[in-house]
Chain A
Amino acid sequence: MDIDKRKRELVKEFSPALENYSLKTKIWIGCLVAIILVGFYAFLVQLINGHIVTGMRDNVVWGIYIINFIFFVGISYSGAFISGILHFFKTPWKNSVSRIVELITVLSLIIGPIFILLCIGRLDRLHYLFLYPRIQSPITWDIIAIMTDLVGCFIYLYLTFIPDFAILRDNKELKVAKWQKKAYRILALNYQDTTEQRERLHKITRTMSVMIIVLAIVAYTVLAWIFSLTLQPGWNSTIFAPYFIIAGLYSGVGVIIISMYAIRKYFHLERYIRKVHFIAAGIVLLVMSLLFGYFTFSEYFARWFSHKENDVHLLDTLFNRYFWEFIFANYIGVLVPIVILFFKKFRTIKSITFAAIIAVLGLWLNRFLIVVPTLETPYLPIQDTRAEFVNYSATWVEYSLSLTGIAAFCLLFTLLIKFVPIIPMSGIIDYERDQKKYNKRQPKKAVK
């Protein structure tokens, strides 16, 4: 059968990535594990000595943990959003990126909440959240939203994996460990790719994709509310929810572009992840950067124009102590990607990736500027407080744990793409099948 043959071909093409760990991979994994071990040590230090080892103090009670939390969760939600759209609208070029997006979604949704745990003073009492819940608290909403979203994303990711597991299960030539084969067999759920099964799977994947989009919006809105429902001058803003969603998408697209670049380089997937994909993603990034710039401008402009005393105070801090951070986050981080992506001739794979990196870094700093300076300029000026409690500067523990978050993300990503092909094989087959149906009269184009 034609399809079976094609399946075998595809497995053969992707099997090297699944079958062996090259030296490079091993070194890479080793480095990541080392970073994680240091982070684990840092965590122990924090656990034993208490939060005194962080740079957080009575005024700035939330530091880069919370920033990482918003950042990772933002990436996740934007991933869910994008992947939902790709699936729902059957975007033609979705195959090359959809799995990358889905993996990013789930992994960052696992890493993000870990940071909020690091920020909690009494981890031993975490279950109190369920023992004595108060549903008025935005934190409760956030916990419910994150958990629901996590489950949803897992289900969704799994749905997209099933056909590939089936293909891998059915392939006898694949040289992988026994447990891995067994795992494929169990996880493939007797999926035989019959029309009936396929249609059922497509149907539920489609509803889940809508669900995921909705959840992403709801959950990130709730996250934005943690800030905007308080009275703090820099946070109490009605546009925070959409602003956060745009910001999340901005960083999410950025991270997707960066991973596309890395994966393309690493697995030599130039045939699948092509310049068109980068340009398409680049254009999405351009739109997002415009929107993000617009929201950022609206937010700060309104504060500057109406110049309420506390807002002025906040802006003073931003423009003095955090001058360079502010310039990088809200000027360079927005304008450089816009300039690169706006002109056609600048749009090369490398430059688009560069723009993405700038965007992601700028966005992280933007989050920093939302959290820390606001806490440093409360309604009542900080006085009668020991000097070391006034300003925030992160300690090695916090930096190390932040790096650990990134390392854990990369490690899990690496391990997962050792387990399933980074390009969904079933997607390619589906795509080819559809092409055949619709293009009977037209000459067959190269498919991907």
Chain B
Amino acid sequence: MTRCIMKNNKNEKSSTDRRKFLKLGLLSSVTAVAGTSLISNLTSEETSTSKEKIRLLTPDGKMVEVDAENVNKYPEAHITPSESRKGIPDRKFVMVIDLAKCKNARKCVEGCQKAHDLDYNEEFMKVQLIQDNPEASPYWLPKPCFHCDEPPCVTVCPTGATFKRDDNIVLVDNDRCIGCKFCVTSCPYSARQFNWGHKDKFKDTSQPYSPETSVPAAEGTVMKCDFCPDMLRQGKLPHCAQSCPMGVIYFGDKNEDIVTNGDETVRFSELIKDRGGYRHLEHLGTKPNVYYLPAVNRQFPLERGFNVDEDIIERYKDVPYVQQLKKDGKI
């Protein structure tokens, strides 16, 4: 798949962006005309969808909000469901999550939600509050799908709708999924979600479905974290790793032995060796491809993590530590 990993085609890409923009009628050579069409477009846009918007400033000083989708898409990189079964050649993707730096900022959750068109309550990435034993101090644990090397979810799927690729990624093809939910019950890490009812966003035809983007989702099928292969094909980090302000999430290719969090690029093997990297629930034998660096020498006190919405805090109400904090009136 040579066309996928794009080198130095930034110019080309910006020209497609431009084409997109032109298609929208948002811009033409005469700025004044652009101004009015912008306004009219804005209003019609707003009534139709409540999609994720990005703000841009036009050269004549007007701010416009456009659907992120319209400028964000890469139609040249569309990977069909059958193509998506192959995987990116010679790669073995891994993720390393540095628990010492996580303060439950939830930017990874939000970044992922935005990119995968998920609702507020749907998360591919969940942040858990784990306390290993009563003496241990609790820590925040961001939990995507672990893209196991021996994935029980794939084993039990009766139709092959979920599959393991050579590049380590486990994907779901929601064109094939019959919604038996067996994979959900088989995943020991509760990494999968099910689409229980109709939603308007399922009908979104603005981009063709690809298991690599998981968009649009479909009713009655499962979905989960996909490791963002669409981003990887462009040589970019997955959305969660990009959005984390603390650089908690490293991502990379194990063959290359390089992982990066965007700021810092390091040897994967050395990182794991030096920092005591481990995999969660190793004893289950699923051989995850997500590694954790233990929460030692924390950079933030745990309590920073409660700096989130009330309803998010409510989601941790069953954690004994949180109950204690509540009793002490600390949150």
- In the complex, which range does the number of interface residues on chain A fall in? 35 or more
Residue B22 lies at the interface, judged by CB distance under 8 Å to chain A: no
Segment at the B interface, from A36-44, A58-66, A89-97, A296-304: A58-66
Taking CB atoms and an 8 Å cut-off, the chain B residues in 100-152 that contact chain A are 121, 123, 126-129, 143, 152
Q: Is A140 an interface residue (CB 8 A)?
A: yes
Q: Which listed residue (B129, B181, B311) contacts A383, Cβ 8 A?
A: B129
Which residues of the other chain, A, contact B196 by a CB distance below 8 angstroms? Answer: 50-52, 54, 56-57
Contacts A121-B219, A122-B178, A132-B176; A384 near B319 (Cβ below 8 A): no
Query: When the two chains form their complex, are residues A129 and B178 in contact, meaning their CB atoms are under 8 A apart?
Result: yes
Q: In residues 51-79 of chain A, which contact B (Cβ within 8 Å)?
A: 51-54, 56-59, 61-62
Interface size on B, residues (CB 8 A): 49
A139 in contact (CB, < 8 A): yes
For A176, what are the chain B residues with a Cβ–Cβ distance below 8 Å? none
Query: In the complex the two chains form, is A50's CB within 8 Å of B198's CB?
Result: yes
Considering the complex, which residues of chain A in the window 250-296 have a beta carbon less than 8 Å from any beta carbon of chain B?
A: none
A386 contacts B315, C-beta separation under 8 Å: yes
Q: How far is the CA of A122 from the CA of B155 in the complex (A)?
A: 20
* Majority-rule SS of A interface residues: loop
Asked if B295 is an interface residue, CB under 8 A from chain A, the answer is no
Q: Taking the complex as formed, is A438 at the interface, i.e. its CB lies under 8 A from any CB of chain B?
A: no
Contact of B179 among A52, A122, A138, A229 (CB under 8 A): A122
Q: Bound complex: CA of A379 vs CA of B179, how far in Å?
A: 22
Contact A58 B179 (CB under 8 A): no
Q: How distant is the Cα of A137 from the Cα of B161 in the complex, in angstroms?
A: 12
Please give, as numbers and ranges, the residues of chain A lying within 8 Å of B221 by CB-CB distance. Answer: 121-122
- Cβ of B318 within 8 Å of any chain A Cβ, yes or no, is yes
**CB <8 Å contact, B128 and A137:** no
Which single residue of chain A is at the shortest CB-CB distance from B315? A384
Query: CA separation between A392 and B321, bound complex, in Å?
Result: 25
Query: B127 contacts which of A226, A384, A387 (Cβ < 8 Å)?
Result: A384
Verify B184–A134 contact, CB threshold 8 A.
no
Q: How far is the CB of B261 from chain A (nearest CB, A)?
A: 22
B27 interface residue per 8 A CB criterion = no
A439: Cβ under 8 A from any B Cβ: no
Let me know if B290 is at the binding interface, CB within 8 A: no
**Contact partner of A378 among B188, B314, B318, CB < 8 A?**
B188
A143 vs B178: C-alpha distance in the bound complex, in angstroms?
Answer: 14
Which residues in A have their C-beta under 8 angstroms from that of B281? 379-380
In whole angstroms, what is the CA distance A43 to B186 when docked?
27
A443 within 8 A of B: no
Residue in chain B with minimal CB distance to A134 = B160
| CB of A339 within 8 Å of the partner chain | no
CB distance from A400 to the nearest CB of B (A): 18
Across the interface, name the chain B residue whose C-beta is closest to A61.
B181
B-contacting residues, A229-246, CB 8 Å: 229-232
Q: Mark B177-213, 1 if CB is under 8 A from A, else 0.
A: 1111110111011101111111000000000000000
Q: Point out the residues of chain B lying under 8 angstroms from A361, CB to CB.
A: none
B182 to nearest A CB, angstroms? 6
- Min CB distance, A135 to chain B, in Å? 9
Cβ-closest chain B residue relative to A384: B126
CB contacts (< 8 Å) of A232 on chain B: these are 185-186, 188
The closest CB in chain A to the CB of B177 belongs to: A122
Q: Is B306 engaged at the interface, CB distance under 8 Å to the other chain?
A: no
Q: Which residue of B lies closest to A229 (CB)?
A: B156
B159 touches A230 (CB 8 A): no
Which residues from 411 to 448 on chain A have a C-beta closer than 8 Å to any C-beta of chain B?
Answer: none
Complex Cα spacing A129 to B280, Å: 33
Asked, given contacts A128-B176, A132-B176, A139-B158, whether A384 binds B123 with beta carbons under 8 Å apart, the answer is yes
* Contacts known (A50-B196, A121-B181, A381-B318); A136 close to B155, Cβ less than 8 A: yes
- Tell me how far the C-beta of A410 lies from the nearest C-beta in chain B, rounded to whole angstroms: 29
Which of A136, A143, A384 gathers most chain B CB within 10 Å? A384
A382 at the B interface (CB under 8 A): yes
B159–chain A nearest beta-carbon distance, Å: 5
Question: How distant is A387 from chain B, measured CB to nearest CB, in Å?
Answer: 7
In angstroms, how far is the closest chain B Cβ from the Cβ of A42? 16
- Chain B residues whose CB sits within 8 angstroms of the CB of A126 once the complex forms: 178
Let me know if A119 is at the binding interface, CB within 8 A: yes
Question: B301-331 interface mask toward A, CB cutoff 8 Å, 1 = contact, 0 = none?
Answer: 0000000000110111011000000000000
* Cross-chain contact A139 with B182 (CB below 8 angstroms): yes
Q: Is A212 an interface residue (CB 8 A)?
A: no
Tell me which residues across on chain B come within 8 A of A138, comparing CB atoms. 156, 182
Could you tell me the distance between the alpha carbons of A218 and B159 in the complex, rounded to whole angstroms? 22
B158 touches which of A53, A122, A140 (Cβ 8 Å): A140
CB B200 to nearest CB in A, in angstroms, measures 13
Give 10 new A-B contacts, CB below 8 A, not counting A131-B159, A380-B188: A62-B185, A121-B179, A137-B182, A139-B158, A140-B158, A380-B280, A380-B281, A381-B318, A383-B128, A384-B128
Pairs across A and B, CB under 8 Å, 12 listed: A49-B198, A50-B196, A51-B220, A61-B185, A136-B155, A137-B155, A140-B158, A231-B286, A379-B190, A383-B126, A384-B126, A385-B126
When A and B form their complex, which 3 residue pairs have the shortest distance between CB atoms, in order from nearest? Answer: A121-B179, A121-B220, A52-B197
Q: Which residues of B contact A (CB under 8 A)?
A: 121, 123, 126-129, 143, 152, 155-161, 176-182, 184-186, 188-190, 192-198, 219-221, 280-281, 284, 286, 311-312, 314-316, 318-319
